[in-house]
């Protein structure tokens, strides 16, 4: 799916999607600092336990807002649709409801879905 959509990318899409990669990773980090872990061991739990959660949340919220602002500055229409595509936070809800929290694998899944959704929304509009 990713290969297929990226073959359709034009030069006008690249700037917004480049910032989208940063945005998806900031959202990923925010999830690790904010959402409960499904188990006490594993990569996500290790990062979550080692983090100063409040400080990480503040820094990542600022980074998320800057990414969205940057996407809007680069291209208002594509930036808006890409920011709306970040509603992949449904993955978080599913993780908590189904697994009792997040894991490293679920975070990786979220990252892939978020980047794929942003690419589809930006490139196919």
pLDDT digits (tens, 9 = 90+) for 55-98: 888 998 999 999 999 999 999 988 887 776 566 666 777 888 88
Note whether 8 and 67 are within 8 A (CB).
no
pTM greater than 0.85 (yes/no): no
Place of tokens 């208002």: 76
What φ, ψ does residue 121 adopt, rounded to 5°?
-65, -45
pLDDT tens-digit map of 7-53: 999 999 999 999 999 998 998 888 888 887 777 777 666 666 666 77
pLDDT given for residue 43 in this prediction: 64
pLDDT given for residue 8 in this prediction: 92
Nearest-angstrom CA–CA distance, 100 and 35: 10
pLDDT given for residue 67 in this prediction: 93
From the number of C-beta atoms within 10 Å of its C-beta (0-12, 13-18, 19+), residue 121 rates as buried
What φ, ψ does residue 102 adopt, rounded to 5°?
-95, 160
Apex 119 CA angle, 43 and 94, nearest 5: 45
pLDDT given for residue 17 in this prediction: 92
Of 67, 78, 110, 85, give the one whose Cα is nearest residue 14: 78
Token representation of residue 68: 């969205």
């Amino acid at each position: 799916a990713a290969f297929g959509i990226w073959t359709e990318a034009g030069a006008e899409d690249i700037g917004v999607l480049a910032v989208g990669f940063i945005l998806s990773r900031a959202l990923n980090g925010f999830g690790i600092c904010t959402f409960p872990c499904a188990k006490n061991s594993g990569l996500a739990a290790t990062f979550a336990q080692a983090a100063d959660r409040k400080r990480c949340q503040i820094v990542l919220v600022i980074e998320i807002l800057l990414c969205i602002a940057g996407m809007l500055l680069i291209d208002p229409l594509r930036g808006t649709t890409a920011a709306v595509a970040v509603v992949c936070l449904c993955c978080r809800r599913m993780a908590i409801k189904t697994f009792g929290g997040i894991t490293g694998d679920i975070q990786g899944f979220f990252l892939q879905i978020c980047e794929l959704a942003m690419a589809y929304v930006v490139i196919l509009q």
